[in-house]
Structure 1
Amino acid sequence: MKSLVLERKGELSLRDFAIEPAEASLGARDVRIKLHTVGICGSDVHYYTHGRIGPFVVEEPMILGHEASGLVIEIGADVTSLAVGDRVCMEPGIPDPNSKATRLGMYNVDPAVRFWATPPVHGILRPSCVHPEAFTYKLPDNVSFAEAAMVEPLAVGVHAATKARIRPGDVAVVMGAGPIGLVTALSAIAGGCARVYVSDLAEKKLQIAESLSSAITGVDASKESIADRVKAETDGWGCDIVFEATGSPKAAARIFEPLAPGGCVVMIGGQPDPISYDAGAAMIREARVENIFRYAHVFPRCVKMLSSGTIDVKPLITRTFGFEDSVKAFEIAASAPPSDVKMQIELP
């Protein structure tokens, strides 16, 4: 089937690609999905520009894409919760159901998890795919395919907010106004935060952040210290939670500066190499540090929040391309335009 293929670092093509028969086979508890909308994730772009993320190396051609929505076109014999014609979004990681991590409820950290567009597993920038019923979620009528393709990045923000153990009225800082930083800010507000400061170097992204909610304050990190701003507006106390969503070692090194005593830091941004931060600053605050890896048990929550209007992701979708323009879309995404947040590709 025609697919967007990362041939090697820096080289993409839109071409016919043979899917392994085992992957295309419909099991009793699987559904076949016609893909409709696929988001371009930072990890997809990173594989394109660098050929690897940590230990995951692109060693042979791989189909990209893992943020997706589509239409069920076939169901397995034992499928009960979905029917042909259902509009769905899909959780892209499939764990080993018998692993210890899965049995403990931490299926996202199962070492055997197979995650779309993570070598050697193919992604879903292609016409159709087969996916387990258990990781496929029916969409309410008022959630569009485009919004549904945002559930995957939103799940990261909701998982981070859950790990932070937000209390109503908390003040939070989100470092980074990229797609993950912005969905984290929205998730923090939905979770009960009264004020969320979002810091970044790109003025346009900060404008987008502030347009999402009156509870969001943008801080230009090139012009002022986020720690100084937060302390000035909290009587010197600091914020209750810091979400690190930049993936920048420089930002991570100063993660505790705006944090109040007893506060929590949630590390979201992927770091390609080991980093260091001020353990002494963490100690004197008795700071709690949480790390997240993707998400677990939050897709249904995300779908419900989109349907109810608790979270609105539509302003984050800044550009949409046709499938025939997929290579161009990735070239533009790799240039990191400051006015864009989330780019999506619609399949025919």
Structure 2
Amino acid sequence: MRSRSGAIDWRAQKRKAGLMKSLVLERKDALSLRDFPEISRAEEALGPRDVRVKLHTVGICGSDVHYYTHGRIGPFVVNAPMILGHEASGTVIEVGAEVTTLKEGDRVCMEPGIPDPNSRATRLGMYNVDPAVRFWATPPVHGILRPTCVHPEAFTYKLPDNVSFAEAAMVEPLAVGVHAATKARVKPGDVAVVMGAGPIGLVTALSALAAGCARVYVSDLSDAKLEIAASLSQAITPVNIRSENLVETVQRETDGWGADIVFEATGSPQAAAQVFEPLAPGGCVVMIGGQPDPISYDAGAAMVREARVENIFRYAHVFPRCVGMLASGAIDVKPLITRTFSFDDSVHAFEVAASAPAGDVKMQIELPQ
């Protein structure tokens, strides 16, 4: 909403934001776009170190879709209506009395997991594994497919002018890839394999290259997704495992040595059982894809390689790095954004996302401004 001078009227935006029309997962397979007064009441108060953000763009994550289609992810069960969405960007419309780094009108992205600052995990720097973390759109915490949210200043990041709202809403999935590359301890010239060409697999490939990998092999079953992978960089080699043998390809092109790093980003038990096959001696496997059940683990294959195995859970300390790489052009996520829906079409957007179109990587929803 703009004044007669053309400037955005933030006070009018705040009044308008009181109508909390939200995308609500009522129960498994049932979505609605409706007012959610409980959120309106809960977010009336703004803490001294909080900001109020008018949401602009929200990405549809695989976890959002999984809650929609299955009603649960592991121990997290949707027992009551829950607002979806956690990959977001927007504009600050109000700041708390003690906020110093942000002001009204700042364009921002937000880290969706808020830990207990006094927990042992947080004090050790591992705030992402704090058992008390409150993560958007993880039951019973509501997500942000709604007009506004209140968020701590410490987990809200100002955007450079050359980073769009759409790119900023990609910072959350990109953070997973950057965290994975960090845990892998990529060295300049490393060769990596990324199993899976979904959104997380592709941001992991981009992150591995930005960290210094000379070559990244991306495997998948979808030609359409592999075409997108190949378009991201000349240093990415797509491998369709329907017609090519991943291990033979990597062995042939590394003189029989193998890949220095293997990133498992499919969440498939079959793929996870094969993570050591393309790995070089002394290499590292990074487990990214969530596994709902225990998986097969070839301890012998790991042992003879003296393989190092890392596991990641979301991310920590990487949001500013992601924003910086988007701003500098070190990573370009724009090719991954394949479809955008209006907020009024949110239910349809999730129906499309649940159908898993082969040519789509990241779908986003734009909220009215």
CA contact (8 A) 1:56 1:119 kept: yes
Mapping for residues 50-199 of structure 1, pairs under 5 Å? 50-199=70-219
Residue in 2 aligned with 1:30? 50
CA contact (8 A) 1:24 1:129 kept: no
SS, match of residue 271 in structure 2? helix
SS, match of residue 277 in structure 2? coil
* Residue-by-residue CA offset, 1:164-201 (whole Å, 9 max, x unaligned): 00000000000000000000000000000000000000
TM-score, normalised by the number of residues in structure 1: 0.99
**CA 24–197 in structure 1, closer or farther in 2 if over 3 Å, else same:** farther
SS, match of residue 19 in structure 1? helix
Residue in 2 aligned with 1:229? 249
* Residue-by-residue CA offset, 1:39-96 (whole Å, 9 max, x unaligned): 0000000000000000000000000000000000000000000000000000000000
CA contact (8 A) 1:71 1:85 kept: yes
Q: Which runs of 5+ in 1 are unaligned?
A: none
C-alpha distance in structure 1 between counterparts of 2:246 and 2:47, whole Å: 51
C-alpha distance in structure 1 between counterparts of 2:28 and 2:259, whole Å: 41
Shift of 1:225: 1.5
C-alpha distance in structure 1 between counterparts of 2:252 and 2:357, whole Å: 32
Matched residue type, 1:163 = K
Instruction: Identify which of 287, 290, 303 aligns with 2:310.
Output: 290
SS, match of residue 183 in structure 2? helix
Residue in 1 aligned with 2:6? none
Shift of 1:144: 0.2
Matched residue type, 1:12 = L
Q: Which runs of 5+ in 2 are unaligned?
A: 1-19
Q: Are 1:335 and 2:347 matched, yes or no?
A: no
C-alpha distance in structure 1 between counterparts of 2:132 and 2:163, whole Å: 32
CA contact (8 A) 1:164 1:264 kept: yes
* Residue-by-residue CA offset, 1:279-338 (whole Å, 9 max, x unaligned): 100000000000000000000000000000000000000000000000000000000000
Identity %: 84
Question: Root-mean-square deviation (CA), in Å?
Answer: 0.6
Instruction: Identify which of 241, 247, 251 aligns with 2:261.
Output: 241
Instruction: Identify which of 219, 225, 250 aligns with 2:239.
Output: 219
C-alpha distance in structure 1 between counterparts of 2:146 and 2:27, whole Å: 18
SS, match of residue 85 in structure 1? coil
Residue in 1 aligned with 2:11? none
Shift of 1:22: 3.8
C-alpha distance in structure 2 between counterparts of 1:23 and 1:110, whole Å: 24
**TM superposition outliers: structure 1 runs of 4+ over 4 Å:** none
Residue in 1 aligned with 2:37? 18
Residue in 1 aligned with 2:366? 346
Shift of 1:224: 1.6
Shift of 1:276: 1.4
**Equivalent pairs, count:** 348
Shift of 1:19: 2.9
CA contact (8 A) 1:66 1:117 kept: yes
Instruction: Identify which of 27, 31, 45 aligns with 1:8.
Output: 27
Shift of 1:18: 1.7
Q: Are 1:318 and 2:338 matched, yes or no?
A: yes
Instruction: Identify which of 205, 225, 228 aligns with 1:205.
Output: 225
SS, match of residue 37 in structure 2? coil
